[in-house]
């Protein structure tokens, strides 16, 4: 477990193709926004943001000149209204832009916008990032194939994402997992098996502990936990199959220990089958939309030839399906992976 999957240090950003743009237009993901990512880079100063434990979060709070801040505040309120409401300015008076934070870590280097309702003091966040085709495919596949819906918008070179609430996986493992009951640990083990399977099938990579959140949910007289991805930069780019299997990252060793301690081998197979069946049902339920998305991915350049060859060979060995070896794009590998799961589901459901 000490040696994790090998990854490219910095994944390149891929442009939005005309076919992907047409998909985004068709399914109302495209819009026009009054401020873009590059505009927010014109901050005049910043201070580090620290956690409650006084740790450096690698985020900085940025500041703008008074005149520019007024324009940016109005623009960000407009984006919030487009993302969460009808896009009108009727709610502007009730909103305050409390903070604009910039992340200095990772590929996307996002801005995190904190919006507060001044009437009731409720607040939420959204993120402003550079558009990247890989990330957009990752977001849309999460929306279509996971148990969770995702709200995001694309405007030319800018991507707007809603905030996904939860406890970051690394924080949960350190501070909350030790407090969990044995029953909760067993349920978490089950959730991680399903999360691991879901990521592998739809080729979502780099699910180290800080790239997903754990969400406590009250269920009758107990608390259960769900696991949800929050980072979609590494959608079908890497060549190493292990990158798409969270189980192989050293940061997830505590979760793997839960599985070994609390689940029998038969239970692991059962939960894998359950997740594959659920994913197949979601894929069939959104068949025409998923087909358009996959067709777009098949025609896009989303990785290198070496990565495509390596991943195709590894999945071919893993599944026994020789078609993966012949794939000439990451989109084709994605299509074959989804078809493999759907076919198995259909074959089993007939029995």
| Contact predicate 131/154, CB 8 Å | yes
* Residue 190 domain-assigned (yes or no): yes
Close Cβ partners of 309 (under 8 Å, ≥ 6 residues apart): 239
List the structure tokens of 297. Answer: 């991915």
Whether residue 268 sits in one domain with residue 121: no
* Cα gap 50→284, rounded to integer Å: 45
Sheet holding 212-219, edge to edge: 167-168, 212-219, 222-229
Question: What gap in Å lies between CA 255 and CA 196, rounded to an integer?
Answer: 11
Whether 315 maps to a domain, the answer reads: yes
Q: Which domain holds residue 117?
A: 19-162
Mark which of 132, 162, 192 sits at the end of a domain: 162
1 lies in some domain = no
Is 340's pLDDT higher than 80? yes
The number of folded domains in the chain is 2
Q: Are residues 329 and 210 in the same domain?
A: yes
For CA atoms 66, 56, 97, 133, give the dihedral sign.
Answer: positive
Domain co-membership, 233 together with 88: no
Average pLDDT of the chain is 94
* Secondary structure letter of residue 218 according to DSSP: E
196 lies in a domain? yes
Largest CA distance in the chain: 68
**188 lies in the same domain as 155:** no
Instruction: Report the C-alpha gap between 204 and 142 in whole angstroms.
Output: 9
pLDDT higher than 70, residue 349: no
**Tokens 């979609």, residue located:** 232
Q: Domain boundary residue among 162, 183, 203?
A: 162
CB neighbours (10 Å) of residue 232?
24
Q: What is the pLDDT of residue 344?
A: 87
Sign of CA dihedral 198, 201, 202, 204: positive
DSSP code of residue 173? I
What confidence score (pLDDT) does residue 348 get?
60
Judge whether 12 lies within some domain.
Answer: no
Does the pLDDT value for residue 351 go beyond 50? no
Of 51 and 250, which is predicted with more confidence? 250
Torsion sign over Cα 74, 77, 83, 84: negative
Structure tokens at 325: 């070896």
Query: Tell me: the pLDDT tens digits for 128-156?
Result: 999 999 999 999 999 999 999 999 999 99
Residues 202 and 330 both lie in one domain: yes
Both 155 and 171 in one domain: the answer is no
Q: What is the mean pLDDT of residues 201-227?
A: 95
Closest CA to 170 of 223, 99, 108, 246: 246
Place 255 in a pLDDT band, splitting at 50, 70 and 90: very high
H/E run at residue 70: helix 66-84
Buried residues in 104-115 as b, exposed as e (16+ CB within 10 A): eeebbebbbbbb
Q: Could you read off the pLDDT of 71-101 as tens digits, one per residue? A: 999 999 999 999 999 999 999 999 999 999 9
Matching residue, tokens 């990579």: 205
Q: Are residues 44 and 106 in the same domain?
A: yes
* Listed residue (90, 17, 36) closest to 302, CA to CA: 17
178/274 same-domain check:
yes
With respect to residue 201, please indicate whether it lies within any of the assigned structural domains: yes
* Rounded alpha-carbon distances, angstroms, from residue 215 to 94, 131, 178, 227, 314: 29, 27, 16, 6, 33
**Closest of 58, 65, 59 to residue 43, by C-alpha:** 65
- The verdict on residue 14 lying in a domain is no
Same structural domain, 298 and 327 = yes
Same domain, 89 and 175: no
Q: Which of 99, 128, 162 is the last residue of a domain?
A: 162
Whether residue 177 sits in one domain with residue 116: no
Residues 212 and 345 in one domain: yes
Q: Which two tokens stand for residue 132?
A: 């990247």
Residue 200 has pLDDT above 80, yes or no: yes
The whole-number pLDDT of residue 26 equals: 98
**Residue 8 located in a structural domain:** no
Average pLDDT over residues 22-33: 96
């Amino acid at each position: 477990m000490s040696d994790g999957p090998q990854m490219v240090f910095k994944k390149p950003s891929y442009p939005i193709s005309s076919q992907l743009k047409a998909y985004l237009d068709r399914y109302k993901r495209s819009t026009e926004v009054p401020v873009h990512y590059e505009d927010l880079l014109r901050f005049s100063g910043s201070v580090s943001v620290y956690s409650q434990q006084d740790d450096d979060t690698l985020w900085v709070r940025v500041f703008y000149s008074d005149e520019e801040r007024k324009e940016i505040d109005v623009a960000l309120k407009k984006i919030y209204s487009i993302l969460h409401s009808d896009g009108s300015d009727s709610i502007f008076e009730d909103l305050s832009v409390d903070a604009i934070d910039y992340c200095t870590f990772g590929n996307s280097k996002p801005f995190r916008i904190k919006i507060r309702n001044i009437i009731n003091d409720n607040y939420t966040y959204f993120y402003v990032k550079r558009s990247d085709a890989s990330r957009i495919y990752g977001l849309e596949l999460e929306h279509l194939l996971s148990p969770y819906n995702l709200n995001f918008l694309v405007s030319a070179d800018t991507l707007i994402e809603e905030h996904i609430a939860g406890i970051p996986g690394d924080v949960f493992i350190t501070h909350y997992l030790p407090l969990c009951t044995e029953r909760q640990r067993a349920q978490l083990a089950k959730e991680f098996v399903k999360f691991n399977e879901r990521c592998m099938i739809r080729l979502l990579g780099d699910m180290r502990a800080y790239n997903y959140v754990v969400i406590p949910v009250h269920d009758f007289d107990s608390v259960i936990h769900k696991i949800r991805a929050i980072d979609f930069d590494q959608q079908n780019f890497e060549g190493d199959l292990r990158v798409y299997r969270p189980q192989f990252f050293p940061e997830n060793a505590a979760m793997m220990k839960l599985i070994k301690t609390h689940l029998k081998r038969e239970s692991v197979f059962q939960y894998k089958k359950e997740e594959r069946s659920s994913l197949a049902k979601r894929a069939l339920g959104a068949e025409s939309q998923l087909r358009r998305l996959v067709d777009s991915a098949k025609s896009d350049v989303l990785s290198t030839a070496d990565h495509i060859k390596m991943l195709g060979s590894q999945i071919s060995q893993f599944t026994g399906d020789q078609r993966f070896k012949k794939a000439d794009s990451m989109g084709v590998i994605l299509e074959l992976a989804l078809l493999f799961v759907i076919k198995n589901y259909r074959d089993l459901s007939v029995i």
